[in-house]
Structure 1
Amino acid sequence: MSRIRIVGGSITKTSKGATTIEVLDGHFISSAAKQNIWDGGEKGNTYHEYKAPEKKEVKEGVKEIERLTPLDFGSTNDKTGGLNNEGMVFGKTYQFRVKSYVKDAPKNKSDIKWLLKYHNLSENKWKEIPLPVKGDNVKITMNNEDLCGRFVNVRAYIKDHETEANLQVWKHNRFRWFDRMVINDEITERVDNFKPWLINQSGTSLCGMACIFYVFAKEQPQAYKKFAKELFRTGVATFNNYTVTPTIDILERQPFLPKKILNEGNFPWHWEWVGGNQIKVNMPLIDYVTMAGTRNTDNKKYKGGEEEFQAINWPPFMTSLSEILLGYKDVSSKGVYNPVKPLVFTTLDVENKINDINKQLSLGYKLILMIDSDLIDDRWDISSMDLHWVVLESPIVWNYIPGFFGAKKDEIDFKVYTWGTDPNGHKRYLKKKITSNHFMANYNGYIKVK
């Protein structure tokens, strides 16, 4: 099907020969706000009943084929939470056979050829894949990622594959239990609605991945959109010099049970306040696809569940992704390897640390900070060390007034992205201004990229 859409402007069609416009099973309407002119030249205009073009009569060949291998379930992709959509699964072998012929069966069954036809999304055109198998009964392994998330036309023919037998079968997205419409909505929110901060690590230790993909979606939104959609559909995505290839542990995760019940024993979730009640909310689907998929690619021991230690994003991996995935040329770190804090420090030490951070921002660097999560929480405990990555989104402001027996005022404030929260919103982190002592005890260092 072809479509011409013009919003504003005009269209001019000039032809030296005959031009035919045919509308099958519909209407052709011509209207204009000022004039609607049909000029037939010397012979004027001719009006007559429309006759559809004659279809080519098929006199021989394969008439019908059937699938012998049962299909597998997956998401219905319609936001209903349905999980009973039947389709083929990547990597699985399916058997097909000829069910009937237009007239007589060929004497030599090897005259029967097979072909797959599908619409290629990235190139926006139909593609055909001739198969090496022949005969009236064949087995086809669905190992082409590009067919995922598409209807596949399985065709058997003797002379003309366009007019002989065709069987259309759905092939699931690689993340077959994830709803495609929900995925698309989440990507739209992050890119088209300019809310990359919605990216949420939920109940995992993927804070580093959250920072990487937040910067990705914010700074290169269209590339992020393409990468995320491709990874969801095919299970493989490449950007710059990094390819994400999650294992079956990630690809086969099932976020929900029937009737949209959260599959909390199998999928990451977190608590949220909704309508005055605290409820369990699943990790956003597209964030799981990108973040868990990327972490699993680097560390196969991380299987997308509650493996807290395996999910941790160590500094070398963070700097590596900043270079080979995000494509930054100037990447370095400072202080992230030394979480042991000095017990005694001066106001000059605080001032030097803050001035160094603010200087990097003024030079155009983007900063990913390694902190103890107590730095941005309401409570500060000194009994544990909860290392956490955040993206700094403002200079650090230190309002300090010294006094004789201590500071008259000691307030530090700044904005960061973390945990799916708008750094500029009213629920932002830092939750409240902190003291210099609080800052020094919980700040480790940074990775800077440009």
Structure 2
Amino acid sequence: MIKEALDIQKIRKDFPILQRQVNGKPLVYLDNAATSQTPQQVIDVIVEYYQRYNANIHRGVHTLSQEATDAYEAARKKIQTHFNIAKAHEVILTSGTTHSINLVANGFTAFVKEGDEILVSAMEHHSNIVPWQMLCERTGGVLKVIPMDLNGELVMEEYHKLLSDRTKLVFCNHVSNALGTINPIKEIIDAAHRMGAAVLIDGAQAAPHIKADMQDLDVDFYTVSAHKICGPTGVGMLYGKEEWLNKLPPYQGGGEMIAEVTFEKTTYADLPHKFEAGTPNICGGIAFGAALDYMNSIGFAALAHYEEELLKYATEQLLDIVGLKIYGTSENKTSVISFNIEGIHPYDIGTILDKLGIAVRTGHHCAQPIMDFYGIPGTVRASFSFYNTKDEVDVLVEGVKKARNMLL
């Protein structure tokens, strides 16, 4: 139990966007699973970079370049510390989770042969499905799916049955973006390793809620996008065990990722630069570090406790609405509620909520197989963050009731 409650009103003042109005109504932002909002402390870091030391990194001897390089590499160290990563060069800075997954999928082309099996869970985001399908097309590998049940939980008995000596790779999200389910990734990782398979965990949705420990998980690859965790868009990280990163070929060629180039032969730079071709999102990387500083200043235990309260309250209030059904009812979930009202298309509900200043996500949430499993076109998804309030939940509930009355 967390004894010291968060000062939510004080926290809300850190987020300028929460003060605005939409369609003449105070903004109620409940689309945090798509992207979180950015606090002034991180915005200030972005502004400072462009005002004071905007320069390319790793290559210049002048002062601005050295300052930018120091700040960028300091951010890498912050990421290393936050996720308890053994070595800083195991942190590859990318444009986000999708880039990170494609980097690994491309590299594994060299290690997957015809008939090898790749396991992916039934509740993945498209970015953790399509790259593996492409890998199978290139190599003749076979994609197999870990099934889910109606509660939105993976059927772990079937997962263990699917594992075999043909399994080379296992891919699963830590948290489902569509349902909020927290998957048993430690069990998934350990079982895969016993069969000699590598594991990639998509941590994009987990990172805002859970402080994942790479050494405790013993995972081979883990991915995160900064914009889910109060940082900017266009930057993220791939954690990879050193032994795997050394084996994988570079994903892109260009500047920075080379040791020596001649027209006859190129040799590649050491980690992490081997996978960081070209000028990176320097400002984004620095701001990523600042976002982690901000989140840690609040404390993940307090944050998770408060979000659990919000989730419980919102679930109870929404279930009082006649005809409303929630998809994803696992007891082990983050603050995401996907729902529909019988007889109403989710898009129509979302449109009315927007007119009331309430931002939710509608559709299949880039997780179309989940929607196909339930036999629905999509859901309304309300996703809560630590800067949301119970008063905002009440506004959402009244908005959904109004939409229901208008549409039925």
Please state which band the TM-score falls in when normalised by the shorter chain: under 0.3
Q: Which has more helix, going by share of residues?
A: 2
- Structure number with higher relative contact order (C-alpha < 8 Å, ≥ 6 residues apart): 2
| TM-score of the aligned structures, taking structure 2 as reference length | 0.24
Q: Which has more strand, going by share of residues?
A: 1
| TM-score of the aligned structures, taking structure 1 as reference length | 0.22
